[in-house]
């Protein structure tokens, strides 16, 4: 069994100069492809169940799926709750067998975010698993704007919550379909001056690949969340499979042809985050 906590995969990344991908899952087909790609690259992987995924698949089912994949994987697999918005939701994920929780209090006032995140950290650590928090709201392409993380507030947040990883807002946005502007490296260095906790970039699909690699190897950024980029690859592979024979109706047959393209696309993401050499 290779089920791992977030700390178990991020602390080596912090020490050795690489990053681990937090891959946003929507169903069995992408989860399975993500693990296959991680095995092919010989790297750990974080399987993430975000709000969209949880809207159509119950947490106990997702936990069982993640753990089944981990049971048979040759690399460490983290079962991670992404953007948990309440203590109860985090408790439910813990009960469902997740090995990592992420509480998103980034819309809350600082003191309230610290207090609520610390509650979830205590819950997670009491069960022997990890917790990620977020300081500085990360916005959305074509939607809410980001609020950049204040470095001093980030230091206070990390110190007072004891989070195992800290998501920050440094020019990144969710749901970006094309690589956009580069991350604010000045702000990243200022945050690093206040704390040595592993940093997380949500909305990693919008970050240019060369900068992902450089910061994975030369900063405290140890986790990139990748969703849109791989959902687009899945959609293209699915359209190709459907259009290959419009008379087919068996979804198992159709979806089987999505696996190899998804593994190939995921391997490119993972390879860019590996250590130098």
| Assigned fold of 3-271 | TIM Barrel (3.20.20)
Q: Are 66 and 27 in contact (CB under 8 A)?
A: no
| DSSP-assigned states of every residue in 126-151 | HTT-EEEEEES---BTTSPPP-PPPH
Residue closest to 270 by CA, chosen among 63, 7, 53, 18 = 18
pLDDT tens by residue, the chain, 277 residues: 599 999 999 999 999 999 999 999 999 999 999 999 999 999 999 999 999 999 999 999 999 999 999 999 999 999 999 999 999 999 999 999 999 999 999 999 999 999 999 999 999 999 999 999 999 877 665 666 666 899 999 999 999 999 999 999 997 765 555 666 788 899 999 999 999 999 999 988 889 999 999 999 999 999 999 998 999 999 999 999 999 988 888 999 999 999 999 999 999 999 999 998 7
For 88, residues 6+ apart whose C-beta sits below 8 A from its C-beta are none
Q: How far apart are CA 95 and CA 16, in angstroms?
A: 32
Task: Report pTM.
Answer: 0.94
φ/ψ bin of 83: left (φ > 0), alpha (ψ from -120 to 50), beta (otherwise): left
pLDDT of res. 142? 62
Token pair for 211:
């900068």
Pick from 36, 131, 41, 38: nearest CA to 81: 131
Cα gap 77→38, rounded to integer Å? 9
Q: Locate the domains of the chain by residue range.
A: 3-271
Which residue(s) pair with 79 in the sheet? 47
Active-site residue set: 82
């Amino acid at each position: 069994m290779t089920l791992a906590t977030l700390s178990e995969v991020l602390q080596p990344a912090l020490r050795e100069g690489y990053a681990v991908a937090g891959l946003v899952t929507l169903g069995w087909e992408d989860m399975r492809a993500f693990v296959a790609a991680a095995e092919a690259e010989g790297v750990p992987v974080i399987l993430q169940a975000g709000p969209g995924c949880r809207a159509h698949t119950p947490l106990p089912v997702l936990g069982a799926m993640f753990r089944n994949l981990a049971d048979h994987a040759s690399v460490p697999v983290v079962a991670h709750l992404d953007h948990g918005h309440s203590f109860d939701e985090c408790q439910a994920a813990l009960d469902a067998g997740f090995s990592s929780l992420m509480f998103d209090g980034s819309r809350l006032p600082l003191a309230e975010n610290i207090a609520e995140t610390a509650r979830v950290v205590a819950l997670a650590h009491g069960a022997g698993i990890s917790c990620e928090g977020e300081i500085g709201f990360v916005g959305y392409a074509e939607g809410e704007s980001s609020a950049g993380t204040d470095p001093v507030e980030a230091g206070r947040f990390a110190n007072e919550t004891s989070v195992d990883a800290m998501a920050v807002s440094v020019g990144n946005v969710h749901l970006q379909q094309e690589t956009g502007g580069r991350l604010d490296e000045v702000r990243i260095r200022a945050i690093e001056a206040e704390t040595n906790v592993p940093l997380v970039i949500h909305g990693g699909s919008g970050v240019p690949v060369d900068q992902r690699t450089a910061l994975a190897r030369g900063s405290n950024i140890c986790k990139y969340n990748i969703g849109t980029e791989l959902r687009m690859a899945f959609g293209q592979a699915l359209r190709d499979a459907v259009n290959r024979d419009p008379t087919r109706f068996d979804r198992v047959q159709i979806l089987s042809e999505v696996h190899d393209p998804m593994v190939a696309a995921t391997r490119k993401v993972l390879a860019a985050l590996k250590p130098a050499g």
